[in-house]
Structure 1
Amino acid sequence: MTARRFRFVTVDVFTETRFGGNPLAVFPDARGISDAEMQALAAEFNLSETTFVLPPDDPANTARVRIFNRKAEMPFAGHPNVGTGFVLADRARDGLLRFEEIAGLVHVRVEEGGTTIEAPQPLSTGATMDAATLASCVGLSAADVLPDRHGPVLASCGNSFVVAEVTPEALGRAAPDLARFRAVARDWTAAGPERLPLYLWAREGRDALRARMFSPLSGTIEDPATGSAATPLAALLHSLGEGDRFTLRQGVEMGRPSTLRLAAWRVEDGVRASVGGSCVRVLEGEALL
């Protein structure tokens, strides 16, 4: 039987330097790829996420974009949208792309200085987590978690994370304990079954932030850049009167430094946020199915 061929592109997202940032695989035309094949391809690429572009349900929109991590489909994610917007820039109308996703419609602005996406939902917060419990998952102590602005809390702008501020020194030495993640996830299920993404952040200045994200139960031991976690962080800080524009660094400890540009603003339905940055093409090829 003749193999079916599907073109893919990989890009490094939130960086201007090849082999930095967060790598992403994009299938610009995924028509004919089954759900099971999409999941298998995402596992084969073994990246944080892989995206599959399909015709939109509404012709007023640009595309329907499906996002898979190594183990499951995701309702929304940051760097996959930024990278997919970069790859599909030639489809933009007046610099704007509109992606249909499970979490809602994602607006993508493609400009010479980078690609920016608006998260599909306003900030929502949910369950809190005890500081000692969170700290135990990443080899820290409860004293390393800073409670003054907010305690560890589940926050989302379309994809949920447990967001916690820690000291800058603690951020650098955090290390995930897989057994502890599994034990905590059995009882703390607010983020979903077998899902416990922890997003730790620290101040580097008034508008300068640094972060790390650990989600080993989803197959991502550590992520070089997590736009869908950075957006609720920006929205949360804005809701606390901490500013409206931020520059965030991530991936430093992994040797894949990433720079994310964040903005947050209040509108009628709540606090909204965007994340943007640069991208670099790395690979092009075909997958055989």
Structure 2
Amino acid sequence: MTHTLPFSQVDVFTTGPVLGNPLAVVHDADGLTDEEMAAFARWTNLSETTFLLSPANPGADYRVRIFTTSGELPFAGHPTLGSAHAWLESGGVPAAAHGRADVVQECGAGLVTVRRSPAPGGGARLAFAAPPLVRTGVPSSAELERACAALRIAPGDVVDATWLVNGPEWLGLRLRDAAAVLAVEPDLAALAGVSVGVVGPWGDSPGAPGDADVEVRAFADDREDPVTGSLNAGLGQWLAGTVLPPSYVASQGTALQRRGRVHVELDADGQVWVGGATTTTVRGTLAL
């Protein structure tokens, strides 16, 4: 049986096309099997592909399934924002009970709230409520040494380190500054099976972009990810309001000639929000 379904590709965490992290979104996907979803995600060869379905939870506006080229994730950041953008753009209307026109997304990690707020220059910025970290803690000496060896840095270059697990299992490393982050030249093959995120402040460093407070890089699945919502969510829960201001902007993708900007905010209730601009770059239909 051939399925003909609406399809869109969304660029996430950037104000201009082809400068953020792309996401493939398949709409009205209730009729697809697990195998068809996995096969299409492998074919797109993007970091993630999502499928929009009818919600199973009455508190949700829609349900999303998130696939990488190798399996399914319970939660991921840029697929959350890109999926919400695609759902709204296709005519989705949030339930009035959610308040403030918030969108409630159902995924493998449960319900995730996505809020809309005015963006400078017009339009709206989407931000998701960072889900609770299911595991934190200082990595073992062996774990830290392996990560540092793969990044080709010395353990002494790491100011602080912790696990940040919110679906994806990130090992977060804080380096002395943004220049140290951009200088990392990883051995990606040596990182197989480990997801590592590095962050460093820009401060008054020469070459600071002016619209970002920190530089972030993410390495997972033998590749560098352009702009990463789940990692930035974990970093915000770790650093916002302590090492970093309660509200800050992360630059990511610089090393890949992208221009990702992730807005992180710790609100008065202790909730971390992770947001950015989203734009559709491809619209059409999928025959599968």
TM-score, normalised with respect to structure 1: 0.85
- 1:277 corresponds in structure 2 to 276
Structure-to-structure mapping, 1:1-289, within 5 angstroms: 3-89=2-88, 90-93=91-94, 94-113=100-119, 114-122=125-133, 124-130=135-141, 131-146=144-159, 150=160, 152-167=161-176, 168-182=178-192, 195-205=193-203, 208-217=213-222, 221-238=223-240, 240=242, 242-265=244-267, 267=269, 272-289=271-288
Is contact 1:91–1:97 with CA below 8 Å preserved after alignment? no
Is contact 2:213–2:249 with CA below 8 Å preserved after alignment? yes
Q: Shift of residue 246 of structure 1? A: 1.2
Matches of 1:61 and 1:129, distance apart in 2: 39
- 1:192 corresponds in structure 2 to none
Q: Shift of residue 43 of structure 1? A: 1.1
5+ residue gaps, structure 2: 95-99, 120-124, 205-211
Cα deviations by residue, 1:11-53 (Å, 9 ceiling, x for unpaired): 1101111111000011121111111111111111111111111
Is contact 1:92–1:110 with CA below 8 Å preserved after alignment? no
Structure 2 vs 1, CA of residues 251 and 242 (structure 1 numbering), >3 Å: closer, same or farther? closer
Is contact 2:9–2:25 with CA below 8 Å preserved after alignment? yes
Structure 2 vs 1, CA of residues 225 and 181 (structure 1 numbering), >3 Å: closer, same or farther? same
Q: Shift of residue 139 of structure 1? A: 2.0
5+ residue gaps, structure 1: 183-194
Cα deviations by residue, 1:165-221 (Å, 9 ceiling, x for unpaired): 123333112233244224xxxxxxxxxxxx31100111113981110000134xxx0
Is contact 1:122–1:272 with CA below 8 Å preserved after alignment? no
Matches of 1:92 and 1:27, distance apart in 2: 18
The one-letter amino acid of 2:114's match is: V
Cα deviations by residue, 1:72-123 (Å, 9 ceiling, x for unpaired): 1001111111111111224243421111111121001133421111122257
Q: Shift of residue 264 of structure 1? A: 2.2
Q: Give the RMSD, CA atoms, in angstroms.
A: 2.1
Is contact 1:223–1:251 with CA below 8 Å preserved after alignment? yes
SS in 1 for 2:203: coil
The size of the alignment, in residue pairs, is 266
Q: Shift of residue 286 of structure 1? A: 2.3
Matches of 1:235 and 1:143, distance apart in 2: 24
Is contact 2:7–2:26 with CA below 8 Å preserved after alignment? yes
- 1:185 corresponds in structure 2 to none
TM-score, normalised with respect to structure 2: 0.85
Is contact 2:147–2:191 with CA below 8 Å preserved after alignment? no
How many percent identity over aligned positions? Answer: 30
Matches of 1:108 and 1:132, distance apart in 2: 37
